[in-house]
Structure 1
Amino acid sequence: MSTLRSDWLPALVAFESAARHQNFAHAAEELHLTASAVSHHVRKLESRLGVALFQRHARGVTLTPEGRQLADAAGNTLADLEGVLRGLHAARDQAARVRLTTLHSLLHAWLMPRLPRFTAEHPGIALTFDTEASLARFDDGGPELGIRHGPGHWPGLAALALMDDTMVPVASPTFPGLAAVREPADLARLPLIADKARQGWHDWFRAAGVHGAPLHERFQFSDTTDALQAAAVGLGVALARERILAPFLDDGRLVRLALPPMPARWGYYIVHPAHRRPSQAAQAFIDWLLADVARFGA
C-alpha cells in the first residue's frame, strides 16, 4: 500500500464520523455533507485499503473487524489532532490578550475614554482589566501589566513614567457657600470629602499655608470615583486628582475652586515584572499608551 497522503484525510474523517454514528446520514449531518458524499469517501477508502470497513444491510451499517480496528485508530488520532489545534488556537488568542491591573478611578475617568483609539489602531488585541483594591501579584496567571500610582519603584517590577498629577479642590457648582470661599482657610468651614489617597486635605491646607485649622472630613470613601460623585451630588468639597477629573468637569457636575492647586507627591507608572519581557501584545499597548499621552497630553 502506498504511504498515507494528505488526500486520505477527508476520507478518514468521513469514515470516523460514520463509524461513531453507525449511520451515514448522521455522519453527513455532522460534517455538513450529503449521505452520498460520505458513502463515496468510505468506498474510496475501502478501495484503497482493499478491505471492507462496513457491513451494509437494510437497517444501516455495522463495522467489520477491520473497520473497528481502523475506527479506533482514526478516532484517537483525530482526537489528538483536534486537541493540538485547539491548544494552538487558544495560545494564539492568549497571545493577543493583555491583562492589566489599575485603579478603578483611573480606568473609569482617564483610560476608558482613550481606549477607542487603541482598538482602532490594534483591532487584534483584546484587553482584560483588573481593578481590585489590593495590589496584584504579577505571577503566572496574573496581570501582565499594571498602571500604578506611587513613587515609581516597586520590588521586582520595571516602571515606566507615564504622567504626573495635581490635586485640586472641587465641588458641585450649586453647592451652598461656594461664593464665600475666597481663600484656602475658608474651606475649613465647609464639609470635606476624602478618599484613601496618600495625600489628603491636611497636605493641601499645609501647602496652602493654613495651619491649625480644624478639618471636618464628613465623608470618606475608599474609591476616588465615589468621592468625586459625592461632591457632584452636593455632599461637600473633594480634593481631586486632576487626571481623573475630566469627565466630571466636562459635563458640569463639578467645578474647580479658585484656590491653589497642589502638585501630587507621586505619579502614574506603567509596570511589569522586571524578570520577564512583555509579550508582543503587551509591548504594543505600552508603546501606544506612551505615544497617546505624548500626542494628546495626559
Structure 2
Amino acid sequence: MALRSDWLPALAAFEAAARHQNFAHAAEELHLTASAVSHHVRKLEARLEVSLFQRHARGVSLTAEGRQLADAAGSAMADMEGVLRSLRAARIEHDRVRITTLHSLAYTWLMPRLPAFVALHPQLRLSVDTEIALTRFDDGGPDLGIRHGPGHWPGLTAHHLMDDYLFPVASPRMAGMDTMREAADIARLPLISDHARQGWHDWFRAAEVHGVKLDERYTFSDTTDALNAAVHGLGAALAREQVAVPYLQSGQLCRLPGPSVKARWGYYIVYPAHRRLRASAQLFLDWLLSVEKD
C-alpha cells in the first residue's frame, strides 16, 4: 500500500500520542486540541482496520499493532529530524565566515567596525578566533586571517590591509606626567612591553635618544593587556596606532613626546592560496579592504 500525503497529519498525531501515551499532551506538543488528535488516530485506525490504542478510564495504551506502528513512526520521525537538522546546519555554515586574528586587533579595531558589516549583510554569521598561535587553514578551519607581519607567508595569499605606527602613551593621571617634555624624559618612567618584535629600544633609537638605561619593568604577551596596564598607571607603553585609537579617544591614555615610528610590519588579510574563497568570505574580504579606503 503506497503511503499517500494525506496520511501524514494522522501519522504525526499518532506518533506524538504514542510517545506521550496521552492525547492531551500530544495535542499540546502539536498545537492541536485533544479531540483533533483523537480524530486523526481514529481516522488512521479506520484506514488500517486495526486498533492502535486501548482506551480506558485512566487514559490510553498501545495495542500490539500500535506498538509496531509507533516504533516505525518514531524511527522515521527521528530520521527526518536528523536530515532537517543537517540541512539547517549546512545552510548556517554556508552563511558563516570564520576569521582568525589577534585579540588586540579584534578588541580595538575590528569590533567597533563589525556593526557596519552586519548592517550590510545581516544574513551572514561570524566566528572570530583570537588564539595567539598562528592558525592553520585546514578544512573546517578559518576562511580568513588578519595577521601582523611582513606580508608573505608560504602557501597563503596576502592582501595588505593597513600599516602601523609606534608611539609612547601613558595615563594622563600617572605620576610624573607633568615633567614629560621630550622623548628622553620617557626613559625615566617604568616601561611596559609586549612581545612585539619592535620595542622600546627601536623607538628610542628612532627618536635619537642614546645612552639611556631603560627600565622595562612589565611585560605582557598581548598588546591590549600592555595598554590596560598603562591605563592603570603602571608605566608608559609603546602603542600601536590601530590598537590604541579607542584608548586615546576615550582619554584613558594620552600620547607622550616623541616621534610616531612606522612599524616594520603591517596588517594583512590572508587565506590559502590553493583554495577559492567561499562567497560569504569574499564579501567579508571585500568589505575589509573597503574599510581602509573610506
Count of matched residue pairs = 294
**What amino acid does structure 2 have at the position aligned with 1:227?**
A
Q: Which residue of 2 aligns with 1:97?
A: 96
**What amino acid does structure 1 have at the position aligned with 2:21?**
Q
Q: Which residue of 2 aligns with 1:135?
A: 134
Q: Which residue of 2 aligns with 1:290?
A: 289
1:126-172 Cα shifts (integer Å, max 9, x gaps): 22222222222322443332211111122332222111111112222
Q: Which residue of 1 aligns with 2:46?
A: 47
Does 1:170 find its partner at 2:169? yes
Q: Secondary structure at the match of 2:209?
A: coil
**Structure 1: how far apart are the matches of 2:84 and 2:213?**
67
**Structure 1: how far apart are the matches of 2:9 and 2:75?**
16
Does 1:30 find its partner at 2:35? no
| Residues 156, 272 of structure 2: 8 Å contact kept | yes
Once the 2 structures are TM-superposed, how far is the Cα of residue 193 of structure 1 from its aligned partner?
1.8
Q: Secondary structure at the match of 2:40?
A: helix
**Structure 2: how far apart are the matches of 1:65 and 1:110?**
66
1:250-275 Cα shifts (integer Å, max 9, x gaps): 12122222311110101111122333
Once the 2 structures are TM-superposed, how far is the Cα of residue 178 of structure 1 from its aligned partner?
4.3
Q: Which deviates more from structure 2 when the two are superposed, residues 282-291 or residues 47-56?
A: 47-56
**What amino acid does structure 2 have at the position aligned with 1:156?**
G
**What amino acid does structure 2 have at the position aligned with 1:165?**
D
**Structure 2: how far apart are the matches of 1:212 and 1:26?**
83
Q: Calculate percent identity across the aligned residue pairs.
A: 70
Q: Secondary structure at the match of 1:245?
A: helix
Once the 2 structures are TM-superposed, how far is the Cα of residue 5 of structure 1 from its aligned partner?
2.5
The 1:42–1:214 alpha-carbon spacing in structure 2 relative to 1, beyond 3 Å, is same
Does 1:233 find its partner at 2:229? no
**Structure 1: how far apart are the matches of 2:235 and 2:23?**
75
1:62-92 Cα shifts (integer Å, max 9, x gaps): 4444433332222211111111011111222
Q: Secondary structure at the match of 1:270?
A: strand
**Structure 2: how far apart are the matches of 1:8 and 1:68?**
18
TM-score by length of 2: 0.90
**Structure 2: how far apart are the matches of 1:66 and 1:175?**
82
**Structure 2: how far apart are the matches of 1:99 and 1:87?**
19
Q: Which residue of 1 aligns with 2:18?
A: 19
For residues 72-83 of structure 1, what are the structure 2 equivalents within 5 Å? 72-83=71-82
**Structure 1: how far apart are the matches of 2:21 and 2:238?**
73
| Residues 183, 257 of structure 2: 8 Å contact kept | no
**What amino acid does structure 1 have at the position aligned with 2:189?**
L
Once the 2 structures are TM-superposed, how far is the Cα of residue 177 of structure 1 from its aligned partner?
4.1
**Structure 2: how far apart are the matches of 1:60 and 1:173?**
76
Q: Which residue of 2 aligns with 1:260?
A: 259
Once the 2 structures are TM-superposed, how far is the Cα of residue 277 of structure 1 from its aligned partner?
2.9
**What amino acid does structure 2 have at the position aligned with 1:291?**
S
Measured on the aligned residues, the alpha-carbon RMSD in Å equals 2.2
Once the 2 structures are TM-superposed, how far is the Cα of residue 58 of structure 1 from its aligned partner?
4.2
Q: Which residue of 1 aligns with 2:277?
A: 278
**Structure 2: how far apart are the matches of 1:213 and 1:60?**
90
The 1:193–1:68 alpha-carbon spacing in structure 2 relative to 1, beyond 3 Å, is closer
